[in-house]
A = this chain, B = another copy of it.
């Protein structure tokens, strides 16, 4: 399929609007996917958005609304009449509605909830009450529930009646009179069974489910582990309260990874995409870490000041500080980043710590010896540094690499064990620690070898 260039579409549509060719604009919009329309609307000037939105075919207007960004959603809601708002809210799935409500200012929330019918309002409030990172917060309450004593014919009638058309809802849930989950029935098995077969006969009873309070990241891991497309969410008494679908899980996986990556780079995770984040927010998410790290780096400076004489005797010793620090930092972040990713993918657990350290030590010795040898030759051959000074630098390099790898791999694991986020233990912190340690070693080795 050819790539749709949203730009051209936006330009075309604006031209159609300006020429008052509304029915042509509507026809164009009809051919587009909601996600593409939303992307296109983001390119438009904001005063054109409400008019364009009103031209979107009713069937996909709500879906398009969900895909739009928060600012544009708010702008639209403020411009909506009550009946327009009701039309959109009625079409929203409860999980999407809850997401939107969770991000709007209080006055907008009041308007939305007023337009929702009582049933939906109750469900939205239900979802909002779960903690932000729980399975409950990402579930939707639109699913088909069946009873064990229903026949295939009854079940088909019920599916027809509910009118849920979300594509992922290809699984129906069999619950007893207390809403306790008994099993699942796929639409496929309904289609292939005789009309008078009972749900209790064709349902699968082993169901992988999530608790409402369960961490959404754990739920996402179960999805990938068991290759699920949908998972029921139950309360502590195994009563069905909702379902989580794979599309929300893909979003969770991406968000959690972005957070990990941000933490590894010493940034407090941001909530919005880069271009939407205010400069002040970005400043606040970065400056605390920078200040902490600046002060920690000052300790390394103290070591230099303290051993001024030892270092100043050979300028080559001072000139090698950047190389030693950079190497320590790089080795440390190679080890820490690998381990952090392994932890978050579940490939490594705390009990593997000794195997991990042993592996890193062997890798470190190989890397360290190679680098020290290369560096020694370089210092002697090209920089005209004396044998002993070159030995000091190269020996420090070797020790730094080993310390860096060991600290880099073990700190994230210890962090995960004591309930800290391993990602925060990434490069910058580890680099700061390694800098100080390796400079200390440097001075020690220099004083020993050079008298």
Task: Please report A residues at the B interface, Cβ cutoff 8 Å.
Answer: 1, 31, 33, 35, 156, 159-160, 165, 167-171, 186-188, 190-192, 206, 208-211, 223-227, 229, 246-247, 249-251, 253-254, 257-258, 261-262, 264-267, 270, 273-275, 279-280, 282-283, 286-287, 289-291, 293-298, 300-302, 304-305, 308, 311-312, 315-316, 318-323, 325-327, 329-331, 333-334, 336-339, 341-342, 345, 347-348, 352, 355-356, 359, 362-363, 366-367, 370-371, 374-375, 378, 401, 427-428, 431-432, 435, 439
A208-B1, A289-B330 are known contacts. Are A226 and B319 too (CB-CB below 8 A)? no
- A312: nearest chain-B partner, CB-CB: B312
Q: Which of B262, B282, B294, B342 contacts A274 (CB 8 A)?
A: B342
Q: Which of B279, B297, B308, B427 contacts A333 (CB 8 A)?
A: B427
- Compute how far the CA of A33 lies from the CA of B225 in the bound complex, rounded to whole angstroms: 10
- Compute how far the CA of A289 lies from the CA of B224 in the bound complex, rounded to whole angstroms: 32
A-B contact pairs, 9 of them (CB 8 A): A1-B210, A156-B191, A227-B247, A253-B254, A261-B264, A273-B347, A275-B347, A297-B325, A305-B316
A283-B363, A322-B297, A322-B301 are known contacts. Are A160 and B250 too (CB-CB below 8 A)? no
Q: Do A374 and B333 have beta carbons less than 8 Å apart?
A: no
Q: Which residues of B contact A316 (CB under 8 A)?
A: 305
* Cβ distance A273 to chain B, nearest Cβ, rounded Å: 4
Q: Which residues of B contact A366 (CB under 8 A)?
A: 279-280, 283, 287
Q: Do A293 and B330 have beta carbons less than 8 Å apart?
A: yes
* Cβ distance A235 to chain B, nearest Cβ, rounded Å: 12
- Copies of chain A in the complex: 2
Q: Do B246 and A334 have beta carbons less than 8 Å apart?
A: no
Q: Which of B192, B206, B254, B325 contacts A159 (CB 8 A)?
A: B192
- A265: nearest chain-B partner, CB-CB: B337
Q: Do B265 and A338 have beta carbons less than 8 Å apart?
A: yes
- Compute how far the CA of A352 lies from the CA of B290 in the bound complex, rounded to whole angstroms: 26
A210-B1, A326-B297 are known contacts. Are A224 and B264 too (CB-CB below 8 A)? no
* Cβ distance A301 to chain B, nearest Cβ, rounded Å: 4
| Secondary structure type dominating chain A contacts | helix
A191-B156, A253-B253, A294-B375 are known contacts. Are A301 and B320 too (CB-CB below 8 A)? yes
Q: Do B319 and A322 have beta carbons less than 8 Å apart?
A: no
- Compute how far the CA of A342 lies from the CA of B267 in the bound complex, rounded to whole angstroms: 14
Q: Which residues of B contact A333 (CB under 8 A)?
A: 265-266, 427-428
Q: Which residues of B contact A286 (CB under 8 A)?
A: 331, 334, 363, 367
Q: Which residues of B contact A342 (CB under 8 A)?
A: 273-275
- Compute how far the CA of A352 lies from the CA of B276 in the bound complex, rounded to whole angstroms: 12
Q: Do B359 and A279 have beta carbons less than 8 Å apart?
A: yes
Q: Which residues of B contact A291 (CB under 8 A)?
A: 370-371, 374
Q: Which residues of B contact A304 (CB under 8 A)?
A: 315, 318-319, 321-322
* Cβ distance A401 to chain B, nearest Cβ, rounded Å: 8
- Compute how far the CA of A291 lies from the CA of B369 in the bound complex, rounded to whole angstroms: 12
Q: Do A294 and B226 have beta carbons less than 8 Å apart?
A: no
- Compute how far the CA of A31 lies from the CA of B205 in the bound complex, rounded to whole angstroms: 11
Besides the known contacts A187-B188, A227-B247, A290-B367, 9 further A-B residue pairs in the complex with CB atoms under 8 A apart = A33-B226, A169-B188, A262-B338, A265-B337, A274-B348, A282-B363, A286-B331, A286-B367, A294-B327
Q: Which residues of B contact A334 (CB under 8 A)?
A: 265-267, 286, 289-290
- Compute how far the CA of A427 lies from the CA of B246 in the bound complex, rounded to whole angstroms: 33
Q: Which residues of B contact A1 (CB under 8 A)?
A: 208-211
A192-B160, A290-B367 are known contacts. Are A297 and B283 too (CB-CB below 8 A)? no
